[in-house]
Amino acid sequence: MPRLALAQLPARDDVTENRDQVLDAMRRAAAAGANVIAYPELALSKFFPQHEHHPNAREFAETVPGPTTTQVSRLAKEFGLVTVLNLYEEAETGLYDSSPVIDADGTLLGVTRMVHITDYACFHEQAYYTPGDRGAPVYATQAGRIGVSICYDRHYPEYMRALGVAGANLVIIPQAGAVDEWPDGMYEAEVRTAAFQNGYFAALCNRVGAEERLTFAGESFVVDPSGRIIAQAKRLEEDLLVVDLDYAACAESPARSLFWHHRRPELYGDWLL
């Protein structure tokens, strides 16, 4: 039975300090018996898209593999810990909001890149991110089949359905969610609905802490395949949320035991899966 840890962390001014707290969270998760760990969006830097033009944003970008994933892979192998990170990725094709997925033996299985790029007050992401070109992959890890939906992508039911169609047991959502950004309960309602409709566990890992223009709320949470919240982290505080997942609940869920048997994808068009 997988044991998941969500590392609800603030970002500090120094990238090295942020990398150190990512690695420390891995140690704490392993000590708590976890075999999967996930992180918030942009775990290595302050949330630079809150500024329309951040002069130093490019300095936060790194390659994958790169300095952080090399160290994370080493600890992942040491602790047997499947790790879903999120960082600003520099690649030949552009700059991406990316989640490297590292298996429990330290192998880099792949990189999910955020597909849908938003732009509104304090979330000026189109100024920094190239739209993702990797689709909605699901990774066969030592802790089950894991998909990633990076922050804004969770708003798209077709993306969340694609992860289900690809056989995800668990969907990780790295998040940068601010206090009062959306109406009360909307984060939870949206993720609960996706888990219920697709028959997987969904785990949203949020940032926390006050930055220049935004205060991040924390309140990371995990939803089971019936759409129930089964664990939630603290509000406005750093936290490590640890919860056991029973994947048998995926097969027994209403989505996979009932709804999916009656789907008629031949009528929806390929874009709706």
For residue 244, the domain's CATH number is 3.60.110.10
State which residues form the domain around 142. Answer: 3-272
pLDDT above 80 (res 272): no
Q: What was the pLDDT predicted at 181?
A: 85
What is the tens place of the pLDDT at every residue in 205-253?
Answer: 999 999 999 999 999 999 999 999 999 999 999 999 999 999 999 999 9
Q: What was the pLDDT predicted at 1?
A: 85
Backbone angles phi, psi at 263, to 5 degrees: -65, 150
CA atoms within 13 A on the CB side of 55: 0
Q: What was the pLDDT predicted at 144?
A: 98
DSSP state of 116: -
Cβ–Cβ < 8 Å for 129, 97: yes
Cβ–Cβ < 8 Å for 125, 117: yes
**How many other CB atoms sit within 10 Å of the CB of residue 257?**
13
Task: Identify which of 165, 55, 66, 46 has the alpha carbon closest to the alpha carbon of residue 111.
Answer: 66
Task: Give the count of domains, the chain.
Answer: 1
Distance in angstroms (rounded) separating the CA atoms of residues 232 and 253: 21
What is the tens place of the pLDDT at every residue in 151-182?
Answer: 999 999 999 999 999 999 999 999 999 998 87
